[in-house]
Amino acid sequence: MSENAADLSGPTRDALAQLLLGIADDEFVIGFWDSEWTGIAPMLEEDVATSSISQDEIGHARALYEMLAELTGQDADQIAFGRQPEAYRHAALMNHARTDWAFSIARRYLYETADAVRLEALSRSTYVPLAQLTAKMRREERYHLMHLDAWLRRLASDADASSRLGSALRTLWADALAIFSPVPGEEVLVRGGALPEPMEALRTRWLDQVLPVLDELGLPGPTEQDLAASSEDGRSRRTDDFLWLHGQFTMVAASESGATW
Amino acid sequence: MVVAADPREAVVWAALDEIADPEIPAISVVELGVIGGFAFEPAPGGGERLTVELLPTFVGCPAIDVMREQVGQRLRGLELADDVDVRVSFATPWTSDRITPEGREKLRASGFAPPALIAMDAPSVLDVEMLSMVSVVTCPHCGSRNTTLENPFGPTLCRAIYHCANCRQPFEQFKAV
């Protein structure tokens, strides 16, 4: 068990920094995408719900960026807002624009279910600050899971919505699998228990949980091709959609470099 | 750590109990259960430091910085130690079960249904138990249990929105987490 950053070996610290950066960027970018629904979600209650879920995710990103900053001696705001687009390490799933409501629900369902598997594993991490933070995050994420499960079932019960959901899932599967791309230096983390299981094992657990639900609702799982696709660049591929979003979320920070709020 | 008999401890608790939650001012930070604890410790540069552990209700709670500032300012004003350090911590996860009985009563009196008392285990994807979070909630206005959950997400991260079919009033619940 490691109580703080100073107890870690150099290789463990580097690999842990890569792991934290990927998770923080996932939460940060999906939080910004879905915050775009504020004011234009299909119903008033959903305006509030999507905004609240996005605020949770950005809050989780902040806590993870702060943990990362402590590990690397950087500044959390600088990590969040001061990088060029190619330095972000979110999974390719977060490269897509918000698109329509079914698309956003499909993406978030895939993300929330995968995140739940990842958080459960990390709550057993031997790096104590990470185990503590993820244990706390899981209590909040429970509401997200419940909400997304309800939306998935609701959309799946309507012919037009279900067909949109299906086509969104077909577009997203390969990029969703990138959530479990191997982390650079992963073997060191698994050996020391900071990451209790390899990403490959988490990916299998996630698919085992999600595929029966999608099957029951008549929604598509990944194709053989999706499953076989290389995940080497799963966290480094970038798209024009993300470049646009990056311009949006760095706008304020870039307008007054070094400002605090 | 000092022994429990330190007379300054009661002074600190009383001072903290005067600090209102920035988002629900009817309840104090002590009643909300966000004070994990405090200790008088030797400061690294000499002298004595009062260290306070602050537990956020939600990881992304935007009020936590305000609370941190208010707690620090109030305790520095007491001049009980040379320095005051307020740390945000997840070492003990805040859960809604930490709200004190007095706090729950004050929530109810100000129109908020207190959270259901459930020691929730961690979630898994297809957990039927998830529904236990949205158990029957009593209307804080009329006491009826004929209420429905309108939205598990409300105006702040920690609040859900309900409707009472008896008095036909909407009301908020402090979320069980």
Is the minimum CB–CB distance between B52 and chain A shorter than 8 Å? no
Using pLDDT thresholds of 50, 70 and 90, give the confidence band for residue B134.
low
CB atoms A62 and B60 under 8 Å:
yes
Token pair of A96 as six digits: 């897509």
Is the minimum CB–CB distance between A70 and chain B shorter than 8 Å? no
Encode pLDDT of A12-64 as tens digits: 999 999 999 999 999 999 999 999 999 999 999 999 999 999 999 999 999 99
**What pLDDT is recorded for position B120?**
52
CB atoms B153 and A49 under 8 Å:
yes
Is the minimum CB–CB distance between A113 and chain B shorter than 8 Å? yes
Tell me the chain A residues in contact with residue B57 when contact means C-beta distances shorter than 8 Å: none
Does the domain at B8-88 match CATH 3.30.300.130? Answer given as yes
Mutate to test the interface with A, among B54, B59, B69, B126 (most CBs of A within 10 A): B59
**What pLDDT is recorded for position A6?**
85
**What pLDDT is recorded for position B116?**
81
Using pLDDT thresholds of 50, 70 and 90, give the confidence band for residue B4.
low
Encode pLDDT of A56-73 as tens digits: 999 999 999 999 999 999
The predicted complex's ipTM stands at: 0.87
Encode pLDDT of A185-244 as tens digits: 999 999 999 999 999 999 999 999 999 999 999 999 999 999 998 888 999 999 999 999
Using pLDDT thresholds of 50, 70 and 90, give the confidence band for residue B128.
very low
* Cross-chain CB nearest to B122 (options A55, A123, A129): A123
Cα–Cα distance list, B33 to A170, B30, B97 (Å): 46, 5, 8
Mean pLDDT of B11-25: 96
Is the minimum CB–CB distance between A53 and chain B shorter than 8 Å? yes
AA identity, residue A240 = D
Angle of the A101-122 helix axis to the A159-177 helix axis, nearest 10: 40
How far does B17 lie from chain A, in Å, by closest CA?
A: 25
Is the minimum CB–CB distance between A210 and chain B shorter than 8 Å? yes
CB atoms B60 and A129 under 8 Å:
no
How far does B134 lie from chain A, in Å, by closest CA?
A: 10
CB atoms B157 and A56 under 8 Å:
yes
Tell me the chain B residues in contact with residue A213 when contact means C-beta distances shorter than 8 Å: 125-126
CB atoms B90 and A62 under 8 Å:
no
Instruction: Give me the phi and psi of B144, to 5 degrees please.
Output: -75, 150
Specify the CATH number of the domain A7-255.
Answer: 1.20.1260.10
Cα–Cα distance list, B18 to A112, B15, B25, B86 (Å): 39, 5, 10, 17
Mutate to test the interface with A, among B151, B172, B173 (most CBs of A within 10 A): B151
Residues 6+ apart with CB under 8 A from A2: A8, A126, A127, A128, A194
**What pLDDT is recorded for position B117?**
75
**What pLDDT is recorded for position B127?**
47
Determine the residue of chain B that is closest to A134 in CA distance: B90
Is the minimum CB–CB distance between A18 and chain B shorter than 8 Å? no
**What pLDDT is recorded for position A232?**
86
The pTM of the whole model exceeds 0.90: yes
Mean pLDDT of A248-259: 88
Determine the residue of chain B that is closest to A61 in CA distance: B60
CB atoms B130 and A145 under 8 Å:
yes
**Average pLDDT value over all residues in chain A:** 95
Cα–Cα distance list, A67 to A31, A71, A211, A241, B45 (Å): 19, 6, 33, 28, 25
In chain A, the percentage of residues whose pLDDT exceeds 70 is 99
Taking residue A70's Cβ as centre, other Cβ atoms within 10 Å add up to 14
Using pLDDT thresholds of 50, 70 and 90, give the confidence band for residue A10.
very high
Encode pLDDT of A137-150 as tens digits: 998 998 999 899 99
Determine the residue of chain B that is closest to A140 in CA distance: B177
Domain segments of chain A as ranges: 7-255
Is the minimum CB–CB distance between A150 and chain B shorter than 8 Å? no
Is the minimum CB–CB distance between B109 and chain A shorter than 8 Å? no
**What pLDDT is recorded for position B135?**
67
**What pLDDT is recorded for position B122?**
43
Q: How far, in Å, CA of A115 to CA of A123, rounded?
A: 12
Domain segments of chain B as ranges: 8-88, 113-174
- Classify strands B35-42 and B48-54 as parallel, antiparallel or unpaired: antiparallel
**What pLDDT is recorded for position B65?**
93
CB atoms A48 and B152 under 8 Å:
no
